[in-house]
């Protein structure tokens, strides 16, 4: 899905919207989201809710693209019927937001692989090799729990690959 999104960025940049966009993130994930979202809106604010965690080059790029960085912690999010209207910060200032984005951490939906001893990546996905094998012999994993490309196409691809590898190993054992 990210690949499809990135491939359409040149087209999307011509369709910019004037919505005030807020990104609830910091550090590498905040910078990454800001770079993507800046193609969709001319009004982007990074809400770090604490000291901004960017290197000099990232700060310069954010500044170059007029991305506002707000480090003040968030006190309240005001909404009407679930639609965000504004953010109220701990110092009493407010920011109108039409469109929110957040960098949410990935968590496995089941603890079974972890309880069996399967390793996780830094991002929390099951660690697999190019054949979808985990670090535990005989345990394979595929789909959304193994990488950040959350799409049906990726799930089908990795599932098909995993099935072929498992089938090959079973045939090899029995032959």
pTM: 0.66
Domain ranges of the chain: 2-102, 112-170
Which residue did the predictor score with more confidence, 112 or 175? 112
> Does domain 2-102 match CATH 3.50.50.60?
yes
> Are 134 and 113 within 8 A, CB to CB?
yes
Q: What is the pLDDT of residues 37-47, one digit of tens each?
A: 988 888 999 99
pLDDT digits (tens, 9 = 90+) for 94-143: 999 988 888 778 889 999 999 999 999 988 999 999 999 999 999 999 99
């Amino acid at each position: 899905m990210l690949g499809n999104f990135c491939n359409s960025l040149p087209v999307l940049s011509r369709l910019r919207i004037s919505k005030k966009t807020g990104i609830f993130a910091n550090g590498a994930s905040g910078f990454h989201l800001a770079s993507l979202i800046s193609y969709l809106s001319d009004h982007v604010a990074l809400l770090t809710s604490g000291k901004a965690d960017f290197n000099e080059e990232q700060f310069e790029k954010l500044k170059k693209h007029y991305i506002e960085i707000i480090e003040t912690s968030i006190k309240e999010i005001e909404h009407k019927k679930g639609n965000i209207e504004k953010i109220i910060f701990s110092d009493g200032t407010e920011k109108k937001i039409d469109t929110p984005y957040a960098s949410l951490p990935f968590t496995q939906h089941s603890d079974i692989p972890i309880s069996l001893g399967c390793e996780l990546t830094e991002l929390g996905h099951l660690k697999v090799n190019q054949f979808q094998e985990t670090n535990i012999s005989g345990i394979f994993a595929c789909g959304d729990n193994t990488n950040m490309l959350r799409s049906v196409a990726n799930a089908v691809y990795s599932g098909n690959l995993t099935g072929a590898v498992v089938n090959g190993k079973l045939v090899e054992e029995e032959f």
